[in-house]
Structure 1
Amino acid sequence: MSPHRDAERHAITAAMQRLFDGRPERSTGALTVLQLAAEAGVKRWVLTHKHPDLKTEFERRRAAVNGVPAAYQGLAAQISDLTVTDERLRTQNSELQQRVDAYAQAIYRLSAELQQLRAEQPGNVHPLRPRSRPT
């Protein structure tokens, strides 16, 4: 191989390792062929036409990590856990909101009924007051 071709291969493999380690220097860090080329400092066609074996290796490794660099896999797991927790809390909040609405309706009905009783029999319905405790 020529020295130029060797330099390209070395740049591509080093860039590949940086991307999978989650420490990009020249790219966004996304695990795409375009970002690999940018990270390596080569044009995309150099990667896809002159070094297809490296492109294939990159795509194989990307599939093995589900497109998430190793440095971010812990964060991806956290996101997954937080998504489950968020869904559980949203469900619980919805149930509590329904319960609060039911209580509000019951209080409204009881208040209306008490008001009606007071209007019908003003002397027989006493205002609600807390009992005083003996001292």
Structure 2
Amino acid sequence: MMAIDRDAERDAITAAMQRLLHGRPTRSTGALTTLQLAAEAGVKRWVLTHKHVDLKEEFTRRKTEANGIPPAFQHLHARAVDAEAAAQALREDNNRVRERVGVYAQVIHELRTELDRRTGNSTQRSPVRSLPTSVT
């Protein structure tokens, strides 16, 4: 009877391993952890870590091969990585544009200062008008 219990535990653990690795948990959170494997199999953690060490090691190996992400979610992970790369590129582009705008503002300021100096802005009205400081 002990062998049957051991075989039943192994079958339950193996089936749970398949469900977790394929992203179809039924009794756990679906996280690829030893604790969740035990929960998915319906066994105590110590049963997995002490009685069925080979299955725990197989799960750990297969989890490593999947980069810790169940295959059912790997496409989402890839999309998240792509989105983060796109966001980083946009942040870098935004920083370049901000720097360029700062340079343009400085050039405009210098041109305005030079125009005011040449035209003697105090006696003549400059054809260059200042931008409003607030939007109404």
Normalising by the smaller structure, the TM-score range is 0.7 to 0.9
1:74 corresponds to: 75
Question: What one-letter code is carried by the residue in structure 2 that aligns with 1:7?
Answer: A
Quote the sequence identity (%).
56
1:85 corresponds to: 86
Q: Cα deviations across residues 4-29 of structure 1 (Å, max 9, x unaligned)?
A: 22221121111111111112122221
Name the CA distance, whole Å, in 1 between partners of 2:62 and 2:6.
Answer: 22
Q: Which runs of 4+ in 1 moved over 6 A?
A: none
Name the CA distance, whole Å, in 2 between partners of 1:58 and 1:120.
Answer: 80
1:36 corresponds to: 37
**Match status 1:122 vs 2:127:** no
2:108 corresponds to: 107
Q: CA deviation at 1:120?
A: 5.4
Q: Cα deviations across residues 19-52 of structure 1 (Å, max 9, x unaligned)?
A: 1111212222111111111111111100011111
Query: Is the alpha carbon distance of 1:52 and 1:119 closer, same or farther for their aligned partners in structure 2, counting shifts above 3 Å?
Result: same
Name the CA distance, whole Å, in 2 between partners of 1:128 and 1:44.
Answer: 78
For structure 1, which runs of at least 5 residues remain unmatched after alignment? Answer: 130-135
Q: CA deviation at 1:94?
A: 0.8
Could you state the TM-score of these two structures normalised by the residue count of structure 2?
A: 0.82
Q: How many residue pairs align between the two structures?
A: 128
Q: Cα deviations across residues 38-77 of structure 1 (Å, max 9, x unaligned)?
A: 1111111000111111111111111111111100111111
Name the CA distance, whole Å, in 2 between partners of 1:49 and 1:121.
Answer: 91
Question: What one-letter code is carried by the residue in structure 1 that aligns with 2:116?
Answer: Q
